């Protein structure tokens, strides 16, 4: 059927996603609904039978997706059978900032920003010392939420990454830059982190070594 999707920006700054086909679909005794996998907004596929588009309204940039779930029912001789499946369709006119919107949607608070940072920093360590970041994430399994800069061993973990796995700093730099490119994302990066982060960038540009045994002093 060569179905495809096209995104359109609305006046209210939400997006519409249109599901189209190059020609009328010809399906006999078949009904169905479909929806992007990121939202609950089932729409009938009947417009495709007349050459029109199926339109999904009020979508956020982070929810724009090429994955569409279909729920089809075929009727024959008084019986019917249902089938559900997902198609990954060509999609056009996505906003350039969609990836950043997705990131911001995932990291929607300062707590989540810190948690994501700790996961990045802990990744790949096999020794006991390297698990400090993960321990910080899982030490409280009740109602307590890690909520401030002081709750996280970020200075220690950043020093460790700088010394042992510099590529982790590259990933953190991309994370911070992507968040700071949007007004809402910038608010998720705390000033106290920016201060330490700036010091790390200066060290890196200057090629200064970091000695963990000296407490992280250059």
Q: Would you tell me the crossing angle of helices 98-106 and 166-180 to the nearest 10 degrees? A: 100
10 Å Cβ neighbour count for 152?
A: 22
Q: Are residues 108 and 196 in the same domain?
A: yes
Mean pLDDT of the chain: 79
Q: CATH number, domain at 8?
A: 2.60.40
Residue 212 has pLDDT above 70, yes or no: no
Q: Are residues 112 and 69 in the same domain?
A: no
Tens-digit pLDDT profile for residues 17-71: 999 999 998 888 999 999 999 888 899 999 999 999 999 999 999 889 999 999 9
Tens-digit pLDDT profile for residues 143-164: 444 455 566 666 777 777 888 8
Residue 90 has pLDDT above 70, yes or no: yes
Domain stop point among 37, 68, 94: 94
3-state secondary structure of 49: helix
The answer to whether the beta carbons of residues 34 and 47 sit under 8 Å apart is no
Domain stop point among 70, 94, 118: 94
The answer to whether the beta carbons of residues 60 and 53 sit under 8 Å apart is no
Domain stop point among 94, 125, 158: 94
Q: Which pLDDT score, from 0 to 100, does residue 96 have?
A: 87
**β-sheet with 30-36: strand ranges across:** 43-44, 30-36, 67-76, 79-88
Q: Are residues 87 and 15 in the same domain?
A: yes
**Mean pLDDT along residues 138-146:** 43
Q: Are residues 84 and 108 in the same domain?
A: no
* Enclosing domain of residue 25: 4-94
Helix, strand and coil content of the chain, in percent to the nearest 5, comes to 45, 20, 35
């Amino acid at each position: 059927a060569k179905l495809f999707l096209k995104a359109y920006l609305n006046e209210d700054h939400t997006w519409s996603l249109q599901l189209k086909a190059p020609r009328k679909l010809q399906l006999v005794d078949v009904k169905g609904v479909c929806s992007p996998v990121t939202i609950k907004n089932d729409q009938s596929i009947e417009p495709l039978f007349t050459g029109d588009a199926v339109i999904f309204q009020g979508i956020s940039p982070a929810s724009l997706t090429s994955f569409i779930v279909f729920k089809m029912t075929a009727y024959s001789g008084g019986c019917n059978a249902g089938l559900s499946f997902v198609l990954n369709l060509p999609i056009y006119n996505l906003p350039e900032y969609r990836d950043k919107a997705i990131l911001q949607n995932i990291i929607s608070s300062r707590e989540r920003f810190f948690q994501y940072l700790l996961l990045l920093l802990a990744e790949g360590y096999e020794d006991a010392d390297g698990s400090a970041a993960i321990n910080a994430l899982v030490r409280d399994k009740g109602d307590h939420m890690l909520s401030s800069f002081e709750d996280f061993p970020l200075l220690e973990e950043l020093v460790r990454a700088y010394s042992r796995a510099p590529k982790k700093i590259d990933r953190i730099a991309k994370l911070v830059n992507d968040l700071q490119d949007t007004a809402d994302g910038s608010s998720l990066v705390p000033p106290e982190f920016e201060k330490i982060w700036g010091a790390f960038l200066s060290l890196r540009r200057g090629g200064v070594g970091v000695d963990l045994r000296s407490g992280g002093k250059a």
